[in-house]
Amino acid sequence: MSYVDTKYLNLISPMLPLFKKKGDNLWNFRCPYCGDSQKSRSKARGFVFRKKNDLFFKCHNCAVGASLGNLIKYVDSRTYNDYILERYRKGIETKSSPQPEFKFNAPVFKKNVFKSLQSISSLASTHPARRLVGERKLSKYSHDLFLCPSFYKFTNTLIPNKFPSLGGDHPRLMIPFRDEKGEIFAYQGRAFGSETPKYITIKLDEDADKIFGLDRVDKSKPILVVEGPLDSLFLDNCVAMAGADFNNFEGDLTIVFDNEPRNKEICKQIEKNISQGRKIVIWPDTVKEKDINDMILAGYSKKSIQQIITDNTFQTASASLRFAEWRKINA
């Protein structure tokens, strides 16, 4: 590692709130990409750490990863120009893209990736994790939901250094993403408490689309696509996309977004899907719940939810019209 790296990290440090050196090759500060927590001024989840001979940035909150160069460029482009020049003078090859460093070797593909974890159904009925699953009416699926006592530590056993620091590690509910053969290629950890983000998705195969339910879906039939893996469990032939992109996933798809007209990100996704000609569901104004799990908790039956979905599926021009109306009424 070059002293130029540490020199420039220190140069930009005044622009990184709560900047602290935590160890030999570990620094911590508030993430400049997501701003870290808006609520808590003391949260700092951005880390710079050493991997082989270079320094990298990773945020535990928004999961952004970058080479040190790209972090400097993002924070202060003028300092970045100096940094590039100085590295060049020192004869160090500069890297323009942060991508290659974050490709993690070969995909981890194992049936028993979760073998060290306890399934929720195996826990005592008084266990808080099992109680939470019961309260969300998910008991039926608890044999394939797991308890992970230390999410960061567990993840690091599969992807070395995914979380460079174990500070703030905590338990999470583990939701395995299985492929057609039942093998786990990704997983989502849901916080039990107020830890943020509420869901963290980890891909063991970098190239796979983050689609939950591939082991259960019948592609020859119409398929519902929802946002949350847990929501998808309540509906027939339903998958969840834990990320906006599912371009390699084909079939007779109906996209069911959460009922959140004030969520800009969701509105953007709806617009994009309408323009792509996809069938989408826009919830009627009588539905107040924000997602399918909440509807179940509010007393809707699976059958009634599926009927509402059928009755409120739109495409092309009618979708655009209904979307505009839905946004306006709820604005």
Give me the residues that bind Zn ion (CB under 5 A), please: 31, 33-34, 59, 61-62
Q: How far apart are CA 331 and CA 327, in angstroms?
A: 6
- Any idea which residue has 């159904």 for tokens? 121
Task: Give whichever of 59 and 113 is closer to Zn ion, judged by the CB atom.
Answer: 59
Task: Give whichever of 34 and 159 is closer to Zn ion, judged by the CB atom.
Answer: 34
Task: Give whichever of 34 and 92 is closer to Zn ion, judged by the CB atom.
Answer: 34
User: Cβ 19 to Zn ion, closest distance in Å?
Assistant: 15
Task: Give whichever of 36 and 183 is closer to Zn ion, judged by the CB atom.
Answer: 36
Burial (0-12, 13-18, 19+ Cβ within 10 Å), 262: exposed
User: Cβ 239 to Zn ion, closest distance in Å?
Assistant: 28
C-alpha closest to that of 233 among 116, 117, 143, 115: 143
User: Cβ 188 to Zn ion, closest distance in Å?
Assistant: 18
Measured at the alpha carbon of residue 32, what is the angle toward residues 26 and 38, in degrees to the nearest 5?
110
User: Cβ 46 to Zn ion, closest distance in Å?
Assistant: 6
Q: Do residues 162 and 156 lie in contact, with contact meaning Cβ atoms separated by under 8 Å?
A: yes
64: Cβ–Cβ under 8 A, 6 or more apart, which residues?
31, 33, 34, 57, 58
User: Cβ 208 to Zn ion, closest distance in Å?
Assistant: 24
User: Cβ 61 to Zn ion, closest distance in Å?
Assistant: 4
Task: Give whichever of 73 and 178 is closer to Zn ion, judged by the CB atom.
Answer: 73
Task: Give whichever of 33 and 109 is closer to Zn ion, judged by the CB atom.
Answer: 33
Q: How far apart are CA 146 and CA 173, in angstroms?
A: 6
Q: How far apart are CA 122 and CA 147, in angstroms?
A: 10
